[in-house]
Structure 1
């Protein structure tokens, strides 16, 4: 049975989710549809959001009531370090095109999704929203972070100059179904799931991981993020970005050990301290979100188990046991 739409957004409102095939966008699409909204989507093949003319035509034709900007070029330390131009320019183009077109066709509410990496590398913990622009960024993902900061500024500028009811949210590290498990571009949690699984299947004696294992990270399941996005769309209207997280973090070593335990890998986890760690800690202060009545639902272990099972079902390539060898993984932002 379809539930009634959330108060604050009209029942059956038409909501365009940019980036609906990604980890975050797909979860938001499922959640909005389950709440009775009409969700508009386009694949990248159907609409390239870096193309200003194509984006303008799409908005002129569809005229959605609301928009969620979940489309972005994303990746971990390796991807951000090797392709900073792509992360900067692609994200700037997507944001400029979608936000400006949404305003021109009269979109009522727009939610722009950024990232916790917008905050200074050494920001006081837990990180409050007013820590933005108070110190240097983490160098390994600076280009991506600057693009997201530009998106926040664009949202604030549209509010100040035109009175647009546009808002921005900064999620912590997200995981769940439809995550990216490519070892060259994935974030830490899916990379660890894949590495530990492959090590288990090949009976490898160890998995070698980048960094010291001491940085602390906070993770939120995509389902919980989707719930938070609907809460924000319905109830939040402020120029300041709002943090989205669980308010709980663990060390990378603890995360890796938990994943190995879920998967059943009993080999050694060895950390290569000659490789970068990234930001030492990124725990978000989520008091603003909690004040709206939102709380997370998915425990980390349960979420990891479900994500692992999803990947096994959807990977499509059987992994055949091979010779014993060490598996290497990068730790990401």
Structure 2
């Protein structure tokens, strides 16, 4: 975030990356602070004490805040990628209109992204009779669970599945479609430009493709690909669990691995938008460089001059 701020937030893409970096930072807080704290006390209690603690936390204010915070780290990353993908499509399909877009519009868009992320993370709290936030000792974080369980009919996951479809799957599909359309349009424009350059269509005006915009499209596409690759295993595990192919006993370890793999998408974002930007890498190196205490050239000249002056004084 400090590097992006030093590069300048007046550029719309840098502003979007800075906002995404804030979302990635929240994921780091979730993993390095919340999960480690919960892991420490979970490992130091008996199974009976753990069960009592889980029952006391079920639906509590602490569990609700923790569950909303966890969902916010996921939805904020997803919605940022959706917004960035839509902006790249806008830039490729309607470049003139995109360039006339004011910085204020980008800020409003990012505010809407954060509001939608916060709103979607609170949706389970709207249905307290069906869903509840509770402590999940398998992942050492607060998570969503059904409010009731029937040994005869099992658990009804219809509400949870409907929420996932509306607030997660549909935005993801929209993001994927926008990315494919953007890359296809950019490639077609580049192909037309090459044909016109070689005189194959002399009557048509050349289609200009901004190389920086195309690089931004590739960067966003790589972040979305990383998001997809890290989230697919968790989706598969949840599908198997909701389809009753896995039980709580058999799904615990796979769910733990796939869950933390899905959280690594924030690390993928940092790697992609860092190493694909030469200015970012250069600025980061400058900020992380440790100054070495060595005399400068000017200092050497001054020291040498002072030594000669002292020696001359002693001789005289």
Under a length normalisation based on structure 1, what TM-score does the superposition of the two structures give? Answer: 0.24
Name the structure with the higher strand share. Answer: 1
Q: Which has the larger radius of gyration?
A: 2
